[in-house]
Chains A and B, each alone.
Chain A
Amino acid sequence: QLQLQESGPDLVKPSETLSLTCTVSGGSIRTNDYFWGWIRQSPGKGLDWIASIYHSGHTYRSPSLESRVTISVDTFRNQFSLKLTSVTAADTAVYYCARFGETRGGFDYWGQGTLVTVSS
């Protein structure tokens, strides 16, 4: 059974960089036809797609966040990571990592989510 697990600091100071890693177990991140993505959800709000990456390294970022977002993949560690620079309180959210199947067309496996708070 595929599992995804987010890890990283739960508190980040304003203007600093938020860094998260998603570790994939029970399957390979190198599997064709799947993108690996980050989605966030601010308290009481809807879901907000941040970025996705293919195992080849091709990256896709939300236009509203692309100037601050870096997504990367480490196929040897079976992990992918997110960096979000110059954070503000508006970046406080639960951050999820998830797998998207390009043929089936949905995020079918999700991590449990990690709450990151931006505060001094």
Chain B
Amino acid sequence: DIQMTQSPSTLSASIGDRVTITCRASQSVGIWLAWYQQKPGKAPKLLINKASNLESGVPSRFSGSGSGTEFTLTISSLQPDDSATYHCQQYNSYLWTFGEGTKVEIK
């Protein structure tokens, strides 16, 4: 199995801060990495596919980068609506794995 490790597990930042979340895979997944935003009581929402492609309608302050085993999700200027949990997810050889999630809180 490919294991996905996210860090940090929780972060607290101020409005306007640049925020970076890291996701590491236990073996290469190429660019088959997606990022999701989840708010309490709601289903996850796809933000980024194939490591760096922003989904339609997702604000441009979100960006993704990386390939192989190391990936990052960046929020360039944190907004109040960005308070949520963020999950990474890999797809490789017909197996899917999610990271443990990163909770982003607003100071």
User: Does A associate with B in a complex?
Assistant: yes
Interface residues of A (CB under 8 A from B): 37, 39, 45-49, 52, 60, 62-64, 96, 98, 100-101, 104-108, 110-113
Tell me the dominant secondary structure on chain A's binding face. strand
Chain A positions within 8 Å of B31 at CB level: 105
Tell me the dominant secondary structure on chain B's binding face. strand
Interface residues of B (CB under 8 A from A): 1, 31-34, 36, 38, 42-46, 48-50, 53, 55, 87, 89, 91, 94-101
Chain B residue nearest to A107 (CB atoms) is: B46
* A46 adjacent to B100 (CB under 8 Å): yes
Chain B positions within 8 Å of A49 at CB level: 89, 95-98
Set A48, A104, A108: member contacting B50, Cβ < 8 A: A104
* B101 adjacent to A112 (CB under 8 Å): no
Q: How far is the CB of A77 from chain B (nearest CB, A)?
A: 22
What are the nearest 7 A-B pairs in CB distance?
Answer: A110-B43, A106-B34, A106-B49, A47-B98, A49-B96, A46-B100, A60-B94
* A106 adjacent to B55 (CB under 8 Å): yes
Q: If A104-B49, A105-B34 touch, does A47 touch B89 (CB 8 Å cutoff)?
A: yes
Q: Once bound together, how far apart are the Cα atoms of A41 and B38, in whole Å?
A: 12
Set A64, A101, A104, A107: member contacting B44, Cβ < 8 A: A107
* B43 adjacent to A113 (CB under 8 Å): yes
Q: Once bound together, how far apart are the Cα atoms of A105 and B29, in whole Å?
A: 12
Set B43, B46, B95, B99: member contacting A96, Cβ < 8 A: B43
Q: How far is the CB of B76 from chain A (nearest CB, A)?
A: 21
Q: How far is the CB of A73 from chain B (nearest CB, A)?
A: 15
Between A and B, 14 residue pairs with Cβ closer than 8 Å are: A37-B96, A39-B98, A46-B87, A46-B99, A47-B36, A47-B38, A48-B98, A98-B43, A105-B32, A105-B33, A106-B48, A108-B49, A110-B45, A112-B42
* B89 adjacent to A111 (CB under 8 Å): no
* A105 adjacent to B94 (CB under 8 Å): no
Q: Once bound together, how far apart are the Cα atoms of A60 and B55, in whole Å?
A: 26
